[in-house]
Structure 1
Amino acid sequence: MTTPIAHLVAAGDSISGGRPGARSESVEEYVNRLKNLERIASEKKGVKESYAIQAGREIRIVVDPKQLDDQQNQKLAEQVKDQIEDELTYPGKIKVTSIRDFKQLRMSELKKKKKLKKSRSGRLITGLIQKLRLYFQMMEIVTSFFGYFFKLELTSVTFKNMIDTIKVYTCKFKRETEMGT
């Protein structure tokens, strides 16, 4: 202790610590205070659960949203605060938190759209294109396999170009058949 302020702080600390219950609280008193806080809150109408937390410096009250609306929830917190002030002795402040959680859950389904019916020629062309795609995919696999062994320079781009060309011709064929009918 080198400064006069340090001596004053030490004197004030020893005077404050000399009060009964200033430094420590018995476990029994602590547990009773927590139980009393929870009891006060639980006695109220519409309360589902109550928890004394932070060493009894806060109480959280969970209310039933079907029994209490927002205004009643606010009044409940005020009533609990008043009852705590009247009935309990406690050091410092006690925070009262009232929670009203109302959840709604709805699921929506995407309705299936009706498929448009294709004409007979359209179905034939679509089927042809699908078969040609499979054919060219198989050809691509075979040629890439043999190309590996024979060091051929075949790329998938050539096959894609062939498929695009077939698509163009099938579209022309489709237009000509629709005009003719």
Structure 2
Amino acid sequence: MDNLEQIKTRFAELNSEYHKNLPFKEQKLQSLIRLTYIDLTRLYSSNESHKIIASTTYLNTLRNLETLIQKNYRKEKTVSYYAERLNISTKHLNRITMESIGKSPSELIQERLLLEAKRLLVHSENSLVNISDFLGFKDYAHFSKVFKAKTGTTPTDFRKKYKSSV
């Protein structure tokens, strides 16, 4: 029986036991869950053992990138800036982030910007233009466009939605 079929069988057994009302039901469910966890871990480990996910060097570079983004995200939004500060090419920086966490450096920069934008929209009374300026956007229209593209809502609607739910 292949691994996937074995795991499907284990889940079916879990489901069956859950719906029965037999003595030691809880203990058997716990044992089945442990066995399922072991099977899934073995499956994952065997698939991942052939890959080098992230070397120590990659993890150190990623940690340094996160620190740089935290310090500079308001002023610097280009991957080339961060790659230059880390003394690596943009292509190599992209490889490091994609292999380590499955995201591009530009996604990391934008995520940090959006996190701060959301925080400011919710926890400050600053105008949207002031928030846009604070985050280093040239104008509010550009900030609004980026925010909506990434979140599916405008900064105004995001703020209103949060304020009405509190």
- Would you say same fold, with TM above 0.5? no
Which structure would you say has the larger Rg?
1
Query: Structure 2-normalised TM-score?
Result: 0.27
Query: Structure 1-normalised TM-score?
Result: 0.25
Question: By percentage of residues, which structure has more helix?
Answer: 2
